[in-house]
């Protein structure tokens, strides 16, 4: 809290009230269904946000695992064949440099 001149009026966090159910106004939560007109059953993708991190995590994990070889995985899907191609290319590049 600030006074009229902008000075703190509280000495520490002990002076602040921690809100409990008694200090918070009543909340009323409503539910409104809005089926999607674009899907057969009106289903929407409410849980899809969490799956968006996995595609970025996979090449990052491959990059971390193969960092000693200088391999960067920039294309998905990261099939075993693609990863082996990246490793072989890195090995060939290392042989050329020596």
Q: Which contacts (CB < 8 Å, 24+ apart) does range 87-92 have?
A: 90/66
In a domain, residue 70? The reply is yes
Q: What's residue 65's pLDDT?
A: 92
In a domain, residue 59? The reply is yes
What token pair was written down for 13? Answer: 């966090």
In the predicted model, is pLDDT for residue 38 greater than 60? yes
Structural domain of residue 77, as residue ranges? Answer: 53-98
In a domain, residue 85? The reply is yes
In a domain, residue 18? The reply is no
Region 15-21: mean pLDDT is: 81
Beta carbons of 84 and 66 less than 8 angstroms apart: no
Higher pLDDT residue, 53 or 69?
69
DSSP category for residue 25: P
In a domain, residue 27? The reply is no
Structural domain total, the chain = 1
In a domain, residue 57? The reply is yes
Mean pLDDT of the chain: 82
In a domain, residue 24? The reply is no
């Amino acid at each position: 809290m600030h006074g009229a001149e902008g000075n703190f009026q509280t000495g520490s966090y002990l002076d602040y009230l921690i809100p409990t159910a008694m200090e918070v106004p009543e909340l009323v939560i409503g539910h409104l269904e809005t089926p999607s007109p674009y899907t057969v059953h009106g289903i929407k993708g409410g849980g899809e946000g969490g799956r968006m991190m996995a595609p970025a995590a996979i090449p990052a994990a491959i990059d971390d695992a193969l960092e000693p070889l200088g391999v960067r995985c920039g294309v998905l899907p990261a099939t075993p064949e693609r990863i082996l191609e990246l490793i072989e290319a890195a090995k060939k590049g290392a042989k050329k440099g020596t």
